[in-house]
Amino acid sequence: MSPAVFHFLWEVNFGAVKEGDSVRTFGRLVSYQPEESKATLSIQHAARQHQVVVQTTFVEPFDPIIGAQYIVLGEIEKAEGGDGVMVHARVLNCVDGVNLALLQRGVNEQRSYFRERGESKGDAATAAQQRAPL
């Protein structure tokens, strides 16, 4: 099972995550179509609205609060119609009230640490060589 790495919605849309890989992302619930089991999450970034479609078959029934912040964990799949990607959710949690700026900072803090570590691979590599098969 691949880990669900945090990505921002705009990154998901730009293909930052490979098809089949797990991802964790967040956004505001703008619409929900229960008949098709599809929800749309949206987030504002750099003066643009970014949206992604979420397949909710595995997480139904859930209580949709339109306008609330949600966090989704799931696999990337090709969107129907072949245009772009969608997330097949395994987890869909309402996190309304989350401090978005702080969350973004948290994600970036973690990323910058991994970048730093990647640069000085020599030191970290001493212990990080063996892989346990899952």
Partner 1 sequence: MQPEAKDPEEDSVWEEPPSMLWGLDPMFNAFTRLYVKDILQMRESCQVSGIYFYNSHPIFKVDVLGTVVYKREREDFFCYGVDDGTGVINSLCWKDEPWREQGDPATPGARSFGSSAREDFNPANELKKLRQAQHSSSHLEIGELLRVRGPVKTSRQQREIMASTYYKVSDPVMAVQISWMMEVPQLYRQCYDKPFHLDSSAQNPNIQGGSASYLLGRATRILKDFLKEKEVTRFRPYDVQDLLQPLVSRQPQKTAAEQVHIQWEEQEPEAGPSSGPPTSFKQLRELLQKSLQILQDEGLVFRKVKCQDEVYHVTERDKDLLMAIRDILREDCRREKYAEKGCHILHILSSVRQRYSRNVSKAALELVLKALECNSDIISTSDSHYTIL
Where on the chain is the footprint of partner 1 (CB under 8 A)?
1-6, 22, 24, 59, 71, 73, 90-93, 95-99, 102-103, 105-107, 109-110, 112-113, 117, 123-134
Q: Which is nearer to partner 1, 4 or 53 (CB)?
A: 4
Kind of pairing, strands 38-45 and 48-55? antiparallel
Instruction: Write down the least CB distance from residue 119 to partner 1, Å.
Output: 12
35 or 63: whose CB is closer to partner 1?
A: 63
In the complex, minimum distance from the CB of residue 37 to partner 1, in angstroms, rounded to a whole number:
17
* Smallest separation, CB 20 to partner 1 (Å): 15
Residue 47 vs 102, nearer CB to partner 1: 102
Tokens matching residue 76: 């990337």
The answer for residues whose C-beta is within 8 angstroms of residue 21's C-beta and 6 or more apart is: 2, 75, 76
Omega before 61 within 30 of 0, i.e. cis: yes
Closest to partner 1 by CB, 66 or 128: 128
DSSP 75-109: EEEEPTTSSSEEEEEEEEEE-TT--HHHHHHHHHH
